[in-house]
Structure 1
Amino acid sequence: MAQVFFHCSNDDEFLIDRRGTSVLDLTEARDHAARVVHTLISTEGGEDWRDWVLHISDDLGEEIFTMPFSSMLGRMH
């Protein structure tokens, strides 16, 4: 089991996950990342999340992978 952190950023902001989440493997980390993105884009408030990226890092601060929010939202028309 590993502690993984899910930080979010765009060109203007960086939101830090200070608690992290315990995951068994990369598949579980990817699934949790998708849930984080889905939760944020589903919140009310009118934020355009298309330019945001979720950065998934290990407990040493090394980035494991990224997930652009646009991968779940698609492109603006």
Structure 2
Amino acid sequence: MTEVYFHCSDAQHVFLDRRGAAMDIIEAREHAERMVRTMLMTPSTEDWREWVLHVTDDLGAEIFAVPFASVLGRLH
């Protein structure tokens, strides 16, 4: 298992995960997608299309990223 961190950012904001969690890459990807979906479903005036969730290891190296727009899908 790897210690992973889930950071969210857009061009104007950065929210750092300082706690992290021990999980494998498959669990981290599932957790990241759940986090993005939860944030998107929370009532807010925030425009999430430019946000990205960055998953990093304990050294700060990015493992993968989940753009919120990939979960939102295409606009109609």
Task: Give TM-score, length-normalised by structure 2.
Answer: 0.92
Question: How far is 1:76 from its partner?
Answer: 3.0
Gapped runs of 5+ residues in structure 2?
none
1:58 aligns with 2:69: no
SS at structure 1 position matched to 2:11: coil
Match of 1:32 in 2: 31
Sequence identity (%): 55
SS at structure 1 position matched to 2:12: coil
Equivalents in 1 of 2:3, 2:22: separation in Å?
Answer: 4
1:8 aligns with 2:8: yes
| Aligned pairs for 1:59-74 within 5 A | 59-74=58-73
Gapped runs of 5+ residues in structure 1?
none
SS at structure 2 position matched to 1:19: coil
Question: How far is 1:21 from its partner?
Answer: 1.6
Which runs of at least 4 in structure 1 moved beyond 3 Å after TM superposition?
A: none
Task: Give TM-score, length-normalised by structure 1.
Answer: 0.91
Question: How far is 1:55 from its partner?
Answer: 0.4
Number of residues paired by the alignment?
A: 76
Equivalents in 1 of 2:51, 2:75: separation in Å?
Answer: 14
